[in-house]
Structure 1
Amino acid sequence: MKRSATRDWRQLLGMAWPMALRMLMLHGIVVVDAWLVASLGEEALAAMGLASAVGGLLLGAQNAFSNAAQILVAQAWGSGRPEALRSNYRTSVLINLSVCAIGLGFLALSAEPILRASAHSEEVFLGARNYLLIFSGVVIAEAFGQSLSAFFNGCGETRAPFYSYVFSVPINIALSYALIHGVWGMPALGLAGAALGSVVGSAVRAGYLLFRVSQDQGHWRSAQLEPLWPAARRHLAFALPIAATFFSAQASASVCMLIYAAYDVYQFAALTLMLPWVHVAGTFGMAWAQATGIVVAQHLGQGGGRAKLDAFLWMAWRGVMVSSLAVAAIYACVVLFAGEIYDGIDGRTRAALLTFLPTLLLLPWPKNSNAICGNTLRAAGRTVYVMHIFVWPQWAFKVPLSAAMVLWWHAPVGWVFAILFAEELLKFIPFHRGLLWGEWKRSLPD
């Protein structure tokens, strides 16, 4: 049993660390862009925050379907059916391209009135609009990048998506810096330069993953494809609740960001700086939870039993609780040393950041434990159950309470930020009840 636990720990760690670093680099791009843009002033930060709220919706939709595909690929890999593996690969790419087309259509019709209604000034509106127009290239590149990452992750090859960021992130950062500030012979484009650097970085990442797939000599490449329409229907039947969950999370975050825009420019700038850090530092726990879901899906695809699953989940939960302590420490360092990290930000922005500290110290613990539950339940097919747990607290609690506190009660920004922690507490009991005593678990063999 001890050797088995050690093997499980190594398997989970071997999958989780590349995923964590990949997520860290993905969300870190936003942090780095904010760091580079901060020198342009609070107006530029506000413009970037608005554009990211709208652009994040499109990337969130693609990420939603990719996370569903990741579980399906893991189940196909565990069952040893190459035809299912190849069909899931094809269907995932086609669905993400369709989502990309729909998203760009939405962007063309709705982005400008949304940005104009939310911007503090004409300068903020123009900066956000130009940033978002260029950022459309990221959406197109990520239609391929995210679906290919999901395929590699589902097969347990989590290093390939990580390496794609190793190649693309330095290009993104260097090019963004050069184009923002006009160094190394580049034009000084300001905020638009950050968006253009992100486009080039995403294109490099997608190109690398396409190259890796083309070089793969696995037996799945020659397997017979299932008919497209039945495969797509089955894929969508499983994926839609998961996609709805992830898209709802991104949509509610974007709506809240537009609500937060009613704050003065200093409080809104503080939120623009801190919220990406919530994702960046949180990647360690989220990657561990996603790797847990992949291993559980492979285990169930192989017809594994309940006792081994319980032992594995207990080990996974202990690991994610250790990471919560590290995440809380990172949050504290960002808040306490914000003046040194972001040279030139206003003292009023730093004061707003300090009010976030109590929430940031508590947030990782329920958030990471809920993530373990959610990814495990999705792997077990309880996608609708997980969807309800996510969607109702977001739209019946977080969004309306944020609107009331910001627009009507004019509550301090630290109180509104604390809603993130309250939302995780609402999800805690149903998530853990479903994981520990759900019917899906009782049906497993001993």
Structure 2
Amino acid sequence: MNFEYSENIIALQEKLNAFFEEHILPVEKEVTAFNYDPKNLWQRWPGMEPLKEKAKEAGLWNLFLPKSYKELSPGLTNLEYAPLAEIMGRVLWSSEVFNCNAPDTGNMEVLAKYGTKEQQEQWLQPLMNGDIRSAFLMTEPQVASSDATNIETSITRDGDHYVINGRKWWSSGGMDPHCKIAIVMGKTDPNAARHLQQSMILVPMDTPGLKVIRPLSVFGFYDSPEGHAEIVLDNVRVSKENLILGEGRGFEIAQGRLGPGRIHHCMRLIGMAQRSLELMSERAAERIAFGKTFKDFSSIRQEIALSQCEIEQARLLTLSAADKMDREGNKTSKDLIAMIKIVAPNMALNVIDRAMQIHGGKGVGPDTPLAHFFVAARMLRLADGPDEVHMYQLGTSIIKKYTKTSI
């Protein structure tokens, strides 16, 4: 493994950091205040589109899509994208500026890898252009969706159409005013083999029968404007041409989608933790208690030192997973992806918690990004599979590797 970056990637990092200094950080508090204001729920900060145009002009657009997607991709590997995603993770809303935001990235990868030419023209191209947003509808309130085979939403063939019935929640992106298309996972054949029952289908958000019931907040944060929605699908009828890849291929598509998505989350978590470390270091250097500057307390230095160790360990594990994905593919890299998906959110929670503690009251309020970082990191212990599922599967894989035991 060689984690030394090429001159091109170093130049991209420098360009992205410069963009942050000039365009993102100066408006961070303004955007955050806009998004937190209840009057602005589900509205887009007016400066977002001009910022996106600046990112396009700077060549900082669609950086996430691996080079295997040929003409659609800027040509970066997962390993090369990792430090760029880390930079974006430093400001929670910034990924959209570069069209590298979830769930659009995963949905674009699905369409790029599995979509028909017609599906790509109708939905992938507008997503790649940043003209629209999308949602991913997988999780359901009635079942433990950590086991995707539990999903109950039905996708029933009716002549030249499919009819969809079910209830989804935590549908990322579903509240966004620019959300025009959803990828829905459901069952086309509940009697087929366990992993061949599910399918994925494209459903325009304005299709009759698709109803957004409510937004869901995470510890009080609505993550406006994209949000997380609870959605009912009541006899939603779409063309058979909207099915992705074919009946019974949904689980296969989900595994292909979630591998890159999981590691992208981990990359951004490294950025959240790194910025939290920098903020706690600044706070420690400026605050005085009991006649001493915080930085002069041994316990504070230990917290900062331990945080740096944990961040670097997680960063290297992320890079290792990204490197293996590039060299051997997502399926072969599943153990490393599971490891970092377990490690990164928990590491970030630890580091952010220390930063909040050192900040005191300011750390849990609206004047730093720490509280929202903490909420995002906690959510990511559940998103794309909870810790317990990853540990169960990883443990199974390790036991098989070192013993002859059949599990």
Same fold by TM (over 0.5)? no
Structure (1/2) with the larger strand percentage:
2
Q: TM-score normalized by structure 2?
A: 0.31
More contact order relative to length (CA 8 Å, sep ≥ 6): 1
Q: TM-score normalized by structure 1?
A: 0.29
